[in-house]
Amino acid sequence: MKTCNAKFKIIILILSLLYGLPCAASTGLGRTVHIDKVFAEGESLAGFYTKESLPECLWGLMYINLATDSGKALFTLVLSAQARGALVSRIDYDKDDNDKCLARGIHIK
């Protein structure tokens, strides 16, 4: 009976580790922030700073890819949030090897 219990625990451990792997590639900002400064560079890159700082991101910046329709929609949300002084309740982003953060999703309160 003890052998069966040990095997079951090992299987559960392996499954829990495998379940968490897809989530490791992307991150979500777990706090509420305010948009402070917004910028656009060239035709395909924009981003923003927050009043509360983003120490997990290179230079404290959150970048947005304007080359995609979803990136343009995100930038519109950021501009709207900044103009209204609205809270950003969630930011989903990917981080590259240099800690540069690229936003994939933004939730505004």
Parse the chain into domains and list their residue ranges: 27-108
Q: What are 25-63's pLDDT values in tens digits? A: 467 777 899 999 999 999 999 999 999 989 999 999 999
**Count, residues in the chain:** 109
- Taking 70 as the threshold, does the pLDDT of residue 24 lie above it? no
pTM of the model: 0.72
Residue 26 bridge partners (DSSP): 94
Say which CATH topology domain 27-108 has: OB fold (Dihydrolipoamide Acetyltransferase, E2P) (2.40.50)
6 to each of 3, 14, 16, 19, 20, how far by Cα in Å? 5, 12, 15, 20, 21
Per-residue pLDDT at 17? 43
Which among 83, 92, 42, 23 is positioned nearest to 62, based on CA atoms? 92
